[in-house]
Amino acid sequence: MWTLLKIAAAVLGLYVVVTLAAYFGQRRLLYHPDPNRIAPANAGLADVREQVLAMPDGARVVAWYGKAQPGKKTLLYFHGNAGGLAERADRIRRFMSEGWGVYIMAYRGYAGSTGSPTETRNISDARLAYGALVLEGVPADSIVIYGESLGTGVAARMAAERRAAGLILESPYTSILELARSQYWYLPVQWLLADRYETDKVIAQVRVPVLILHGQKDSLIPVAMAQRLFVLANEPKKLVVLPNGWHSNLYVESNDALPAVRDWIGGLDARASATKE
């Protein structure tokens, strides 16, 4: 009997230790920043310039801005949970080759931005990034808010709060809480998790056209989450599932989302032209 009690106590103690470790280390599990600050030119982006946004709490957030060609949309881009800005250089280059502008903000702790990321800080900084883009002379009806993976939670919030031409969600989740529940089913994550990014509670507040991109073979964020968000989103909306896509290869040559984005943005332009006539 005493042996069983000792085993039970040891198991309980281990569970408490694991739970506390998960609680205090949760943001290290969620955010994987590359803190290195690299100039756009050193990443092969000669037409992109760096900005440093001064936040009210004293933080400095690095952003890259490449201007759109006349009459073209600008993507206000919120990146995923790993890497930094330079890791997105190839897709920035491809977007700009379409004539689109790109304004991409590095979360705190990423790519030379000071401080550390949290959901509250990322959302607050995103609001200022939106404002900075408008101050550059880009009207709201020329802004397409774009979220990649983790950034889809930020992008959806911005689209719900700010005027824009449309919203693109690449590899989105319903919420980080739901993802955590599936991956850490043995922990009481509903009581532990600080940064929840509950896109499923926000998407119905978005009143602009929505494009959702997802890979059928995504093993990090299941395609079922994208499908659920699609159901919750308002019209007009479109879901593109790439059969050979996994989580981060949606813009490679053999599995390219760019034609779908091009066609969808072309539809925005056509809709705007028809409205003006």
Domain parsing of the chain, residue ranges: 1-30, 33-276
Architecture of the CATH domain 33-276: 3-Layer(aba) Sandwich (3.40)
In the structure, what pLDDT confidence band is assigned to residue 72 with cuts at 50, 70 and 90? very high
Rounded to an integer, what distance in angstroms lies between the CA atom of residue 86 and that of residue 114? 17
Amino acid at 6: K
Q: What would the pLDDT profile of 76-115 be if each residue is shown by its tens digit?
A: 999 999 999 999 999 999 999 999 999 999 999 999 999 9
Least confident of 12-21, 146-155, 234-243: 12-21
pLDDT of 18 above 50: no
- What is the per-residue burial (b if ≥16 Cβ within 10 Å, else e) of 172-192? bbbbbbbbbeeebeebebeeb
